[in-house]
């Protein structure tokens, strides 16, 4: 089985080129496209999300 992943639609964010569209294709199973409409860099991270439940 060949799984294909692709990133495209690159845009510049604070001097870094990042993809705004990611695609994954698994033949006979599914195809998924993800489009990012908002990109925020260098945001504060809530470290509690990494704590074990």
**Dist CA 50 CA 53 (whole Å):** 9
Q: What angle do CA 35, 41, 43 make, to 5 degrees?
A: 120
- Compute the CA torsion angle 22, 46, 39, 20 (nearest 10 deg): 0
**Dist CA 6 CA 32 (whole Å):** 11
The pLDDT assigned to 44 comes to 94
> Band of the pLDDT at 31, cuts 50, 70, 90?
very high
The pLDDT assigned to 53 comes to 86
Q: What share of the chain in percent tops pLDDT 90?
A: 85
- Mean pLDDT of all residues in 23-40: 95
Phi, psi at 3, each rounded to 5°: -100, 130
């Amino acid at each position: 089985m060949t799984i294909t992943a692709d990133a495209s639609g690159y845009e510049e964010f604070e001097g870094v080129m990042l993809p705004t569209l990611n695609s994954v294709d698994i033949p006979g199973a599914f195809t998924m496209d993800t489009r990012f409409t908002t990109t925020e860099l260098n945001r504060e991270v809530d470290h509690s999300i990494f704590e074990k439940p």
